[in-house]
Chain A
Amino acid sequence: MTATVPTSTRGVRRPQRRTRGRGPAAVIPLLFLAPALILLAVFVFYPLASAFFMSLTNWNGISSNFDLVGVANYLRLFVDPDFMRAAGATLLYTALTLPPSLVLAFFAALAVARHSRSSTVLRVSMAVPFVVSIAVVSAVWMWILEPNFGLVNYLAPLVGLPQQNWLGDPNWAMFAVAIPSVWRQFGYFMLILLAGIHSIDPALHEAARLDGASSAQRAWHVTLPLLGPQLYFCLVLGVIDSFQVFAQVHIMTSGGPQNATSVVVYELYQQSFEFFNTGYASAIAIVLLLVIGTVTFIQQRWLGSRVFYQ
């Protein structure tokens, strides 16, 4: 993202003539920017600083007095079995959703890469799930996974799976939560990969074909490696999204059964709005920020501007 920052004005120094820009004209850019900057300061940067400060206290969110406890909240995270379990659940969710989404997105992108009426229909259909609210997606899949009348339990015996309470069984609940997430996100990844496929020089495929490569070989040896940056971009986006999962869990399982689906943001939500451990919840939030920031930073370092700004 930093790659987009214009660098043209850098190094242009005009100390004497600066005065010409002062006066009424110099105020205009600031007037144009002021509403946006003030709103961002009040609703993003101030709360961010505030979250950091709260994380160093034992505030309960209501009382007017609290103590500064330093890094105690952060140290507590590492010995809190609930938090560690939530971190594990978040990683499990990521592992269950991301690889299937990427594989599906790759084949989907291949299937619609060439422009035609039917590929337009398929491409638009695959994009529909990610414009549908997670609340709706969760409700629909709760109905499909419903133990007594749900479609999955009707179809399960046909493919040799047992009929069961998918969302109510601690061993299956996370799989059940992951299915709608995959359904919702692969179409988005598909669009990103599709843009990558369309930017591949057709001559490369032509050359491979003249060398006798089959279409499967060309997909594996030409298309896939050249999609590296886009795949990596999807991977990073997917990790960031997965670490923030909340609505599916809140709606479909409420973190249960037996805390099997209690992910980090669900833990954060409970600590702040149910248990009123505001300071501790803020520490969870800051750790989440640091982890996501690190993922983003690694993406920047490895990819730089190669992905979308050729």
Chain B
Amino acid sequence: MSAAKVISDVERSVAVPVVSGDRSRTRRRADRTPGLAALRILLAVIVLFPVLWMLLTALKPQDEAISWPPSILPQTWDWENFGEVLARGEFARWFLNSAIVAIATVLGNLFVGIPAAFAFARMRFRGKNALFLLVLASLMIPGEVLLVPLFVLLSEWGWIDAYPALIVPFIANAFVIFLLKQFFETIPRELEEAAIIDGAGPLRVLRHVVVPLALPAIAVSSFFTFLGSWNSYLYPLVVTRSMEMRTVTVGLSLFTDEVGTDWPLMMAASALVAAPAIVVFLVIERHLKNTMAMSGLRG
């Protein structure tokens, strides 16, 4: 690799704006050094190789997938694998479960997180700092620590193996509250004051002034909530029991046993699980980097 060229890139790089969505600067300049550009594309292919290998295997018939030496491209493109996965066992149901849980968790987070963030960002009240510290403190507690007592609590309520157990405990997320609060504070106060003079109460200010202006931050926090829910593994493994209530990530590992060594089907199932997260990521990617840097936190 031409280290000199890579590093000359660095030295000419400029500081990016701190607030999300650096659309102000045109980032996608054409490459002036074709060799370096080709090298980067090659690296991208290497990094993505496991994903590509998953897709290529998913498109092979069973006998071809286990042929030796392995073939790179499928000799016969077998699109049937995807249909077979969806028809097989409970896979479609698991997929639906994950979608319901992820979407409900995102909506719940916005419903609970936006007002809380607004109160922390804009209202004055006694004990604000202490309460905010408490919210932040909840971020530092690893989920595994809460697993056993949460399981016991949900058992007492009869929530085990039901949707509420997968959704309700994740509706209040300190990361979302924190991220939105940071963003709300960047919105000029004058806009709110104008609305208040026109007779708007706090709810109207929130709905008609703050939320429309904060859509990028709302999108980014929704993305993290979605990702966390869609990809979570240990928690749904513990609180679901019946085949019908499994989420798709847990179902995937059960799928291994069920189909034994049918790797093309397994890879097709994996691709179906990975697809929603990758698609949502590609849609939101340009807003992501700086918002993450701004918060220094993860979902």
Asked if B145 is at the interface of the complex by the 8 Å CB criterion, the answer is yes
Size category of the B interface is 35 or more
Residues of chain B contacted by A5 (CB below 8 angstroms): 129, 132-133, 136
Nearest B-chain residue to A271, judged by Cβ: B148
Nearest B-chain residue to A186, judged by Cβ: B47
* B10:A113 contact, CB within 8 angstroms: yes
* B263:A146 contact, CB within 8 angstroms: yes
Q: How far is the CA of A151 from the CA of B56 in the complex (A)?
A: 12
| Chain A contacts with B in 6-40, Cβ cutoff 8 A | 6-7, 9-10, 21, 26, 28-33, 35-40
Size category of the A interface is 35 or more
* B47:A129 contact, CB within 8 angstroms: yes
Asked if A92 is at the interface of the complex by the 8 Å CB criterion, the answer is no
* B231:A134 contact, CB within 8 angstroms: yes
* B141:A48 contact, CB within 8 angstroms: yes
* A115:B68 contact, CB within 8 angstroms: no
Known: A4-B178, A28-B123. A110 touches B7 (CB 8 A): yes
Asked if B199 is at the interface of the complex by the 8 Å CB criterion, the answer is no
Asked if A131 is at the interface of the complex by the 8 Å CB criterion, the answer is yes
Residues of chain A contacted by B172 (CB below 8 angstroms): 35-40, 43-44
* A135:B233 contact, CB within 8 angstroms: yes
Most buried by A among B27, B69, B147: B147
* A197:B13 contact, CB within 8 angstroms: yes
Binary interface encoding of chain A residues 37-52 relative to chain B, with 1 for a CB under 8 A from any of its CBs, else 0 = 1111001111110110
How far, in Å, is B90 (CB) from chain A's closest CB? 15
Q: How far is the CA of A196 from the CA of B241 in the complex (A)?
A: 45
* A216:B263 contact, CB within 8 angstroms: no
Binary interface encoding of chain A residues 120-151 relative to chain B, with 1 for a CB under 8 A from any of its CBs, else 0 = 11101111110111111111111110101101
* A202:B12 contact, CB within 8 angstroms: yes
| Chain B contacts with A in 129-165, Cβ cutoff 8 A | 129, 131-136, 138-153
* A136:B295 contact, CB within 8 angstroms: no
Interface residue from A32, A127, A194, A293 paired with B123 (Cβ < 8 Å): A32
Known: A143-B57, A244-B142, A268-B144. A124 touches B282 (CB 8 A): yes
Known: A111-B43, A135-B233. A118 touches B10 (CB 8 A): no
How far, in Å, is A300 (CB) from chain B's closest CB? 10
How far, in Å, is A232 (CB) from chain B's closest CB? 12
Q: How far is the CA of A206 from the CA of B290 in the complex (A)?
A: 25
Top 3 A-B pairs ranked by shortest CB distance?
A114-B9, A205-B11, A215-B7
23 pairs, A vs B, C-beta closer than 8 Å: A4-B178, A6-B129, A40-B138, A45-B134, A54-B148, A115-B27, A116-B29, A116-B37, A119-B40, A120-B28, A128-B47, A133-B277, A136-B252, A139-B269, A140-B267, A151-B53, A187-B47, A206-B11, A214-B4, A246-B144, A272-B147, A281-B148, A292-B142
Interface positions of A (Cβ within 8 A of B) = 1-2, 4-7, 9-10, 21, 26, 28-33, 35-40, 43-48, 50-51, 54, 61, 110-122, 124-129, 131-144, 146, 148-149, 151, 154, 180, 183, 187-188, 191-192, 194-195, 197-202, 205-206, 209, 214-216, 218-219, 223, 233, 237, 240, 243-244, 246-247, 250-251, 265, 268-269, 272-273, 278, 281-282, 285-286, 288-289, 292-293, 296, 307-309
